[in-house]
Structure 1
Amino acid sequence: MHIDLVNQDQYAQDGVPHDQMRWLRENAPVYWHEGDAERGWPGFWALTKHADVVHVSRNSNLFSSARRLALFNEVPDEVLDLQRMMMLNQDPPEHTRRRSLVNRGFTPRAIAKLEERIREICHQLIDESQSRPDVDFVRDISAQLPLYVICELLGAPVEDRDKIFEWSNRMIGSEDPDYSDSPEEGSAAALELYAYANELAAARRDDPKDDIVTKLLQPAEDGEVLAVDEFDLFVLLLVVAGNETTRNAASGGMLTFFEHPDQWRMLVENPALARPASDEIVRWISPVNLFRRTATTETEIRGQRIAENDKVVVFYSAANRDPEVFADPETFDITRDPNPQIGFGGGGAHFCLGNHLAKMELRVLFEVLAERTPGIQQSGPASRLRSHFINGIKTLPVSL
């Protein structure tokens, strides 16, 4: 079988190449994937088994996020130090220090307080959509929900959500011609968002409020504070991670329900199934397809020698359909229990900080949709994001 797990045109046309991933799990779970000299991509080890993704995720001492960063694309040496200031691109103990500072805003208790506000937002989005002649589920519902929530978290004006939406699209969609003319566009968007975070922090220092920005700018119990650059980069990470994952899980989840109408009927008849459904949607969609690590020393996975500095790429989409872990993995089943999906990471230092919030947003959204729009239907073809990183839906026309 021809293997190319990073062909962005393939993702734009058909989505995740599950046939290739299935073959790799069965035949070459630790697979040396050819690089692409033209794109500046070296060869890499592709990992497709659940246990191996968890192993790499939980052993930052062997598989570094900092050495060559955590995203797939290579970056010039001169920008490595700046990028390493972002939590995503750090290893313990630096990552541990930073995470302990930002974790204050993401405790289960802090997130639970948001549930009723999230429910209000979902009802509001459906009210507004019902008055429109053409409804795009992505533009009008799934993209709006996390943007509203991010504005709530940051204490930012809700009118700023369109700017945040556009910045996020340009950063994540830098390889998609609908969102960006060139990869440099993504860098420009990141700088604009960086400046916005700076303004937000300055405003909160002058006028503290009950929001995550104020909380993060205050010293921790041990007196530690986030430096200005650290705070700005965290806001950038929050906007992308908090927006793209929830938005694409929700969009992909709705599309999956259209493809599995029996599961939608089950949810409509029993909205309490929205809780296990949120995990199954994340398993099935895996909104983040991959992350990269770099081997810090010579090691082995399944008897395969990995050399120091080798590029190692974990594929969550593949791990989430591993038959050694999931019974009947190719079936979308909103009653699945247990469901050890790793769509939020395989544990360890980089397990998703906002996983409780994302699952709550998905649960509440689908509860409200099942209650308010039980007859929702797809009214046109969906279009997919040209990206091997985010398993994204750009448009999904619906009739409510």
Structure 2
Amino acid sequence: MSATLEADFLNVADPSFSIRSEAVRGARARNWYARTSYGLAILRYAEVNALIKDPRLRQGSYAWPAHNDVHDGAFKLWWDNILLNTEGADHVRLRKLISAAFTPKLLKGLTPKFDALANELLDSFIARGRCEFMGEFSEPYATRVICMLLGTREQDWRMIADWATQMGMALGVNYKRDQKIVDDATTALFDYARAIIRERRVRPGDDFLTQLVQASDNDGALSDAELLDIIVLAIFGGIDTTRNQLGLGIQTFIDHPDQWEKLAAQPELAGQAVEEVMRVRPTVTWVTREAVEDFAFQGLEIEKGTTVHLFSESAGSDPRVIEAPGFDITARRPLHFGFGQGGHHCLGHAVARSDMAVVLRVWPARVTALANDGQAVWLPDSGNTGPLSLPISFQRRAGAA
């Protein structure tokens, strides 16, 4: 379809806007892009796949505070300097250092701990047959996983989770309104990061944080400011996205009980189930880029400075590429965009995939008949989304512990 056809307008700044709405589906059917109050939205798989790796676009989320009329504060200062929003030689250098810290040995050693943690948390409420999934499982699980990764105190998980939740408010359309909460949480998390870095310099361990501290101390490859920024990003990004993605996953399986039973019968599908959940209900519903030069793409003139949102959810359900886009954990799919792609592909994807796959092995083996058990509370269904609370009920699977 030609780019010269009229493009729809999607009001993504409206808190009631949904990435999964008929408005988006209709816009995708009519054209491969739409216009929004933040710039362009790319809606189809082929175009998202091409543009996410296009060198004429840079990471665009650096401009998110400005889009929300936020021009100062602790979060913005951090956001301006983190790996996510750097380009060029500094970006390559930082990615290389962080990648080296995510060693196969580290992940292999953590996986049994993830399994034990998932069972421990489930044990605490399985006899009740119900729980508030986000508060009783997803949040402590995601946060304690990060504590394990950093080798820090698991008993700190509650305050860390609260800071991550409050910082995450910056990624919603109400950032301006919530700026003081966001900035106070950012400051607190920085103070905590400074303390655990000092501790690791005195007592090194076999963990991700020690690897980074040693890279900073031994050859100066990381500055103190870069080290702090990375640790805060690891805590914030690792908690917020995993917590939300697990909640989205459980709700998706509630909506598709046949798939839950299929997963219980074939636990080896847990890894593939993670990918399928992230295709149909990603917590990161769009990836942002910005044009670094004027260029033409499929007949559309894109000016330098234009913000381009790559709608990962819309691309993942595009019927032009995915013949039967419904939820099916046994189907082989094209690569989804839930972890990004190209030069800004998520560095923590292996840990995230592993810890989520553990949950999707442990839970189906032990419980069945998942159902909603009261009113859930949701973040807006765009940007970074997920449940704030998700009360569910279930039954202990016959013969399970």
Query: Which category of TM-score, normalised to the shorter sequence, fits these structures?
Result: 0.7 to 0.9
CA displacement at 1:68 relative to structure 2: 4.6
Alignment of 1:58-69 (within 5 A): 58-59=53-54, 61-65=55-59, 68-69=62-63
Helix, strand or coil at the partner of 1:9:
coil
**Alpha-carbon distance between aligned partners in 2 of 1:228 and 1:47, rounded to the nearest angstrom:** 38
**Alpha-carbon distance between aligned partners in 1 of 2:61 and 2:136, rounded to the nearest angstrom:** 39
- Tell me which residue corresponds to 1:98: 94
**Alpha-carbon distance between aligned partners in 2 of 1:221 and 1:205, rounded to the nearest angstrom:** 9
TM-score calculated relative to the size of structure 2:
0.88
Deviates more, 1:61-70 or 1:94-103: 61-70
- Tell me which residue corresponds to 2:387: 393
Deviating 4+ runs (over 3 angstroms): 66-84, 131-134, 174-181, 220-224
Q: How many residues align?
A: 385
- Tell me which residue corresponds to 1:368: 362
CA contact (8 A) 2:216 2:224 kept: no
Amino acid in the other structure paired with 2:337:
I
CA displacement at 1:174 relative to structure 2: 4.7
Alignment of 1:1-400 (within 5 A): 3-11=10-18, 16-33=19-36, 35=37, 43-59=38-54, 61-65=55-59, 68-69=62-63, 73-74=67-68, 83-130=79-126, 135-174=131-170, 182-219=178-215, 223-329=219-325, 331-345=326-340, 347-386=341-380, 388-400=382-394
CA contact (8 A) 1:289 1:390 kept: yes
CA displacement at 1:160 relative to structure 2: 0.9
**Alpha-carbon distance between aligned partners in 2 of 1:221 and 1:232, rounded to the nearest angstrom:** 13
CA contact (8 A) 2:378 2:387 kept: yes
CA displacement at 1:178 relative to structure 2: 12
Indicate the percent of aligned positions where both proteins have the same amino acid.
26
**Alpha-carbon distance between aligned partners in 2 of 1:238 and 1:207, rounded to the nearest angstrom:** 20
CA contact (8 A) 1:52 1:301 kept: no
Deviates more, 1:143-152 or 1:101-110: 101-110
CA displacement at 1:303 relative to structure 2: 1.1
CA separation of 1:143/1:180 partners in 2, compared to 1, >3 Å: closer, same or farther? farther
CA displacement at 1:6 relative to structure 2: 3.5
Amino acid in the other structure paired with 1:160:
D
**Alpha-carbon distance between aligned partners in 1 of 2:215 and 2:62, rounded to the nearest angstrom:** 31
**Alpha-carbon distance between aligned partners in 2 of 1:94 and 1:69, rounded to the nearest angstrom:** 19
Unpaired runs of 5+ residues, structure 2, are 1-7, 395-401
- Tell me which residue corresponds to 1:38: none
Unpaired runs of 5+ residues, structure 1, are 36-42
- Tell me which residue corresponds to 2:5: none
Amino acid in the other structure paired with 1:301:
F
Let me know the Cα RMSD of the aligned residues. 2.7
CA displacement at 1:180 relative to structure 2: 11
CA displacement at 1:348 relative to structure 2: 0.9
**Alpha-carbon distance between aligned partners in 2 of 1:25 and 1:188, rounded to the nearest angstrom:** 40
- Tell me which residue corresponds to 2:4: none
CA displacement at 1:44 relative to structure 2: 0.5
